[in-house]
Amino acid sequence: MQLYFIRHAQSANNALWDRTGANQSRSHDPELTDMGYRQAHALAEFLRRSNSAVSIEGRDPQNVTGFGLTHLYCSLMVRAVATGSIVAEALNLPLAAWPDLHESGGIYLDDEVTGEPIGLPGNSRSYFETHYPGLVLPDSLDEQGWWNRPHEPPEERPIRAQRFWREVRDRHGGTDDRVAVFSHGGFYNHWLVALLNMPERQSLWFSMNNTAITRIDYGDQDTYIVYTNRADFLPANLVT
């Protein structure tokens, strides 16, 4: 299995943080910005391109001949769904929702008085069927919203990352599948810690640009971290 972890394109919250360095007035489930849509289309074109005229022996560690993706998954947060949908259309592949890929904390806003994070429902089945009709939804999603629970506490996040890593290996390990997941920067950190079997540390952070790609080759005997935070396909004015 080749696993490609891809961060979503720039969201309104990302742009807010870049401008202000603060989360005040953040959205609980932000849309992509215009910049984000340009990033997502650049990503889709990069993943779509192939170069069969080039001969590469072995694993093609820089994807010189292309990506040949076979499976696409995304979180149910709008910024990841929007990014993944643009890629899915370009590649003519189905995009399936994987709820465990969501960002740390889940769907929430901070209480204006106490500052405490308050969990919110997230979008419903009918929302996704209307706005993203090609998205393959989990059977459990109904009209109550996909999250609809309290804010996810820090101690639950590494457990979720470990569960995802175990389940993606169960689904695709031992195959030649090339799997892309569209997820989030915070979850990326928890997943890498799980992959590397490292202790969780608040002072440790793995950088991940919008639409950047990390590639992991998972085999029967060895696991290769081929590259991380790859965004060389973006022009300089689209790097965020």
**Strand 135-136 and strand 2-7: pairing?**
unpaired
Please give the DSSP secondary-structure letter assigned to residue 32.
B
**Strand 117-119 and strand 108-110: pairing?**
antiparallel
CA separation for the pair 38, 40 (Å, rounded):
5
Lowest-confidence segment of 46-50, 55-59, 146-150, 151-155 by average pLDDT: 55-59
Considering only CA atoms, which of 31, 130, 43, 50 is closest in space to residue 86?
Answer: 43
148: Cα within 13 Å, side-chain hemisphere: 10
Q: Can you tell me the mean pLDDT for 114-132?
A: 96
Above pLDDT 70, what percent of the chain?
Answer: 98
Q: What letter represents residue 117's amino acid?
A: P
CA separation for the pair 235, 145 (Å, rounded):
37
pLDDT value of position 58: 72
Question: What does the longest C-alpha to C-alpha distance in the chain come to?
Answer: 61
SS3 of 153-199: CHHHHHHHHHHHHHHHHHHHCCCCCEEEEEECHHHHHHHHHHHHCCC
* CATH assignment of 2-238, among 3.40.50.1240, 3.40.50.300, 3.60.40.10, 3.10.20.30: 3.40.50.1240
pLDDT value of position 53: 61
Q: Can you tell me the mean pLDDT for 155-169?
A: 97
Measured CA to CA in angstroms, residue 55 lies from 22, 59, 138, 208, 233 at distances of: 48, 11, 40, 30, 21
Boundaries of every domain in the chain: 2-238
pLDDT band of 202, cuts 50, 70, 90: confident
